[in-house]
């Protein structure tokens, strides 16, 4: 839809000239020689779909000055943009107009290109404001924050929407980085608990000796270092939602206490004997196959059945190539805005490269790759050469130095093993740095290194 412009000037010839000039540029232009009549028009149409986007007004008019028109029009629509024209070019008039909310001004007699450039700047600013608003809305949560164009994922979102407003326990399954926490936050935001806390804990990132205290709290003197009472996350999330992320990494000693909390809706702080009631909606998430964990005796079957009331499985990114393009463009815009650099485009060849990659780290890895590309790409277009980690991906998809060979349908453990090794080797085995890129706690990374038997170079 073309930008709608209203030109206001008591000289009809000027209005006609501006209408012809701007219409040739593709704008929808109307004009008015009366400032008061223009104000009446704005008052009538600004709440409608035909609203004006930009007013270009003379400053010196007989019945009402451009400054007065600007002030009154802004009271009708604070988002309305203004460019003022003045034959009395001076710092004072320009500053006054800008202080009142004008975006820019041009001095009569002006060159045609000056007006065109000013209008283009207004359009560019409006575009950036809209994108920022959309990004902020997405970051706040809600199902709009889970970007997808994949039919399978859309059905998943529809299921999540149906269950969001209940207290049903949800188990979200999927590989690391697919967006389990994003979906959890969206469910919370759409629930009747949205005005209460959403609290998340990575159960695999907290040492077993501290996890019970983190979840249920403790009383003063219950153990060495417990110098005062501490409220656990169950109590902190009372009335809201608690996300138990990496639930598959929970030690057996904690599993039995989680089961009791879910069944009785009470918790007992460490060192206390009196149960305390809690009203918490539980969402659990894991990249592990809990049924396999149950068979191996690593996870309590009764807790599994208690959590598995409403399972949701998010497919990996490699199974939804349409989303790769959607998310890539979103991440580039997001990080260009965050870095305060001009927006960059992604070349078609680069999009093809992104779609052909296996993405063992899923959406989290895609975002990291695009953030680096936004920062390091020299031109306005991101080329395949700006993604060195993908061009050198033989270590993951082939049988390179990592020694792992991923088949067309690898299991989750193989993918995770290969990806962790890749990130570690690419970062000179700096575990703190690698854990940050992987999006996990350093202690979790140490456990996975031990689990997979990686030989750390000296």
Question: Mean pLDDT for the chain?
Answer: 85
CATH of residue 446's domain is: 1.10.10
Residue 14 resides in a domain: yes
How high is the pLDDT of residue 49? 78
- Written as six digits, the tokens of 111 are 């060159």
406 and 414 in contact (C-beta within 8 Å)?
yes
Mean pLDDT by 10 residues, the chain (458 residues): 89 90 91 92 86 91 89 90 78 75 84 89 79 53 80 93 93 94 93 93 88 93 86 94 95 93 93 92 94 93 95 94 92 87 89 89 92 88 86 43 39 71 80 83 84 75
How high is the pLDDT of residue 199? 95
Residue 133 resides in a domain: no
**Residue 274 and residue 347 in one domain:** no
CATH of residue 196's domain is: 3.40.50.300
The number of distinct structural domains making up the chain is 4
Question: What does the DSSP assignment read for 424-438?
Answer: HHHTTT-HHHHHHHH
**Residue 163 and residue 286 in one domain:** yes
**Residue 157 and residue 296 in one domain:** yes
Distance CA 321, CA 357 (A): 10
pTM above 0.85, yes or no: no
Residue 171 resides in a domain: yes
Give the strand pairing for 381-382 and 230-231.
unpaired
**Residue 39 and residue 59 in one domain:** yes
**Residue 221 and residue 282 in one domain:** yes
Burial level of 101, CB count in 10 A (0-12/13-18/19+)? middle
Distance CA 206, CA 69 (A): 61
**Residue 300 and residue 345 in one domain:** no
Distance CA 330, CA 346 (A): 11
**Residue 343 and residue 304 in one domain:** no
How high is the pLDDT of residue 379? 84
**Residue 359 and residue 381 in one domain:** yes
Structure confidence by residue, pLDDT tens digits, 347-376: 998 998 898 888 989 999 999 999 999 888
CATH of residue 379's domain is: 1.10.8.60
447 and 416 in contact (C-beta within 8 Å)?
no
**Residue 262 and residue 162 in one domain:** yes
Distance CA 239, CA 254 (A): 22
Identify the domain containing residue 427 by its residue range.
392-458
Distance CA 39, CA 64 (A): 10
**Residue 46 and residue 109 in one domain:** yes
Q: Mark out the alpha helices in 278-411 (DSSP H runs).
A: 290-295, 301-307, 321-339, 348-356, 362-376, 388-391, 394-397
388, 407, 441 — which closes off a domain?
388
Distance CA 156, CA 3 (A): 38
Other beta carbons within 10 angstroms of residue 231's beta carbon come to 12
220 and 204 in contact (C-beta within 8 Å)?
no
**Residue 160 and residue 286 in one domain:** yes
**Residue 362 and residue 302 in one domain:** no
Structure confidence by residue, pLDDT tens digits, 170-201: 999 999 999 999 999 999 999 999 999 999 99
- Written as six digits, the tokens of 120 are 């283009």
346, 369, 388 — which closes off a domain?
388
Residue 330 resides in a domain: yes
Considering all CA atoms of the chain, what is the largest pairwise distance in Å, rounded to the nearest integer? Answer: 87
């Amino acid at each position: 839809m073309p930008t709608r412009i209203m030109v206001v000037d008591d000289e009809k010839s000027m209005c006609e000239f501006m209408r012809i000039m701007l219409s040739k540029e593709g704008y929808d232009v109307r004009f008015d020689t009366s400032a008061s009549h223009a104000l009446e028009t704005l008052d009538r149409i600004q709440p409608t779909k035909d609203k004006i986007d930009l007013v270009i007004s003379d400053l010196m008019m007989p019945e009402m000055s451009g400054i007065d028109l600007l002030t009154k029009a802004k009271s009708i629509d604070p988002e309305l943009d203004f460019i003022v024209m003045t034959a009395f070019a001076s710092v004072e008039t320009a500053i006054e107009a800008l202080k009142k909310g004008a975006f820019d001004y041009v001095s009569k007699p002006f060159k045609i290109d000056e007006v065109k450039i000013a209008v283009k700047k207004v359009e560019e600013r409006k575009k950036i404001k809209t994108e920022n608003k959309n990004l902020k809305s997405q970051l706040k949560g809600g199902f709009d924050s889970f970007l997808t164009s994949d039919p399978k994922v859309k059905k998943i979102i529809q299921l999540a929407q149906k269950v969001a407003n209940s207290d049903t326990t949800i188990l979200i399954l999927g590989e690391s980085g697919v967006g389990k926490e994003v979906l959890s936050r969206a469910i919370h935001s759409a629930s009747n608990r949205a005005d209460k806390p959403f609290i998340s804990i990575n159960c695999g990132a907290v040492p077993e000796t501290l996890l019970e205290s983190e979840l249920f709290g403790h009383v003063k003197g219950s153990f060495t270092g417990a110098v005062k009472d501490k409220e656990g996350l169950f109590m902190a999330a009372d009335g809201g939602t608690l996300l138990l992320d990496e639930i598959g990494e929970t030690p057996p000693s904690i599993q039995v206490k989680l089961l009791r909390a879910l069944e009785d809706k009470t918790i007992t702080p460490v060192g206390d004997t009196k149960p305390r009631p809690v009203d918490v909606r539980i969402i659990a998430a894991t990249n592990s196959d809990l049924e396999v964990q149950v068979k191996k005796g690593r996870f309590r079957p009764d807790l599994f059945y208690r959590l598995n009331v409403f399972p949701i499985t998010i497919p990996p990114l490699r199974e939804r190539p349409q989303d790769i393009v959607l998310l890539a463009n979103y991440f580039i815009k997001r990080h260009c805005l965050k870095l305060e650099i001009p927006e960059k485009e992604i070349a078609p060849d680069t999009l093809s490269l992104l779609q052909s990659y296996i993405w063992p780290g899923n959406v989290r890895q895609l975002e990291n790759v695009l953030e680096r590309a936004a920062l390091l790409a020299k031109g306005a277009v991101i080329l395949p050469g700006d993604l060195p980690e993908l061009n050198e991906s033989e270590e993951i998809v082939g049988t390179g130095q990592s020694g792992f060979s991923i088949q067309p349908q690898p299991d989750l453990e193989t993918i995770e093993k290969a990806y962790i090794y890749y990130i570690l080797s690419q970062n000179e085995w700096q575990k703190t740095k690698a854990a940050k890129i992987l999006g996990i706690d350093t202690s979790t990374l140490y456990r996975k290194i031990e689990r997979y038997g990686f030989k750390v170079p000296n």
